[in-house]
Amino acid sequence: MSSFNLNGIGMTSRRTRDRLIERLREKGIADQRVLETMRMLPRHIFVDEALAHRAYEDIALPIGFNQTISQPYIVALMTQVLFSDGDSAVKRESVLEIGTGSGYQASVLSHMAKRVYTVERISGLIEIAKSRFRALKIRNIRVKHDDGNTGWEQQSPFDAIIVTAGAPAVPDALVDQLNIGGRIVIPVGQGESQSLLIIDKTSKGLQKTNIADVRFVPLLRGTIEL
């Protein structure tokens, strides 16, 4: 895994990446920091080499273990809602992600937050995600092999939490581990499609907003060694 081609050629070149960013802009992603982070981040090293030529299409792709790297538009949308409120940027220093997967979403977050904590239940995905962080010289991401339904108590409270698997309901532990003024973005629903919810934690309670219909792999229980 030391042989990542970070710059890319042909279908993974800078020009191909620029086209994806244009597409995200057309679809309504306006946060410049999100767009610039995704422009420079080589998504092709987060997928299998055989699929690298499709890495800059706006689609989800398989990453093994029956899991997927999310569609770039959804990554951009979720990141944008975590770091901006209307037109104004919101500072989020400490961010928790549930569902490390390929490590792509965590890498995007690492450029926008001071510290990123990410939890994954499949051990086999963790080592490869870590090797990608090393190749990209990203040093502010901590990874834990655990059931993300329990959050990451020792590192809490968080300013923001992003769940990248479809949850039957919002796990209580995540709400508990969020600061007042913090925000969770999470796909919630039974079955194949979910509602992408924003949950704001205020001193008066939780405020929920549904922003899109999405399709994520399910948030499961327990951990596995693979």
Please enumerate in sequence order all residues whose Cβ is within 8 A of that of 185, keeping only pairs 6 or more positions apart, or say none: 78, 81, 82, 160, 161, 162, 163, 196, 197, 198, 199
**Catalytic residue IDs:** 70
Answer yes or no: are the C-beta atoms of 119 and 148 closer than 8 Å.
yes
R_g (Cα) of the chain, nearest Å: 16
Q: Which positions from 19 to 58 touch ligand SAH by CB under 6 A, shown as an x/- string? A: ----------------------------------------
Answer yes or no: are the C-beta atoms of 64 and 48 closer than 8 Å.
yes
Q: Does 219 engage in binding with ligand SAH (CB under 6 A)?
A: yes
Q: Between residue 73 and residue 102, which ones bind ligand SAH under the rule CB under 6 A?
A: 98-99, 101-102
User: Of 46 and 199, which has the nearer Cβ to ligand SAH?
Assistant: 46
Q: Which positions from 138 to 167 touch ligand SAH by CB under 6 A, shown as an x/- string? A: ---------xxx--------------xx--
CB atoms within 10 A of CB 72: 24
How many chain residues touch ligand SAH (CB under 6 A)? 23
Q: Does 119 engage in binding with ligand SAH (CB under 6 A)?
A: yes
Closest by Cα among 150, 157, 129, 14 to 63: 129
Q: Which residues bind ligand SAH (CB under 6 A)?
A: 67-70, 98-99, 101-102, 104-105, 119-122, 125, 147-149, 164-165, 217, 219-220
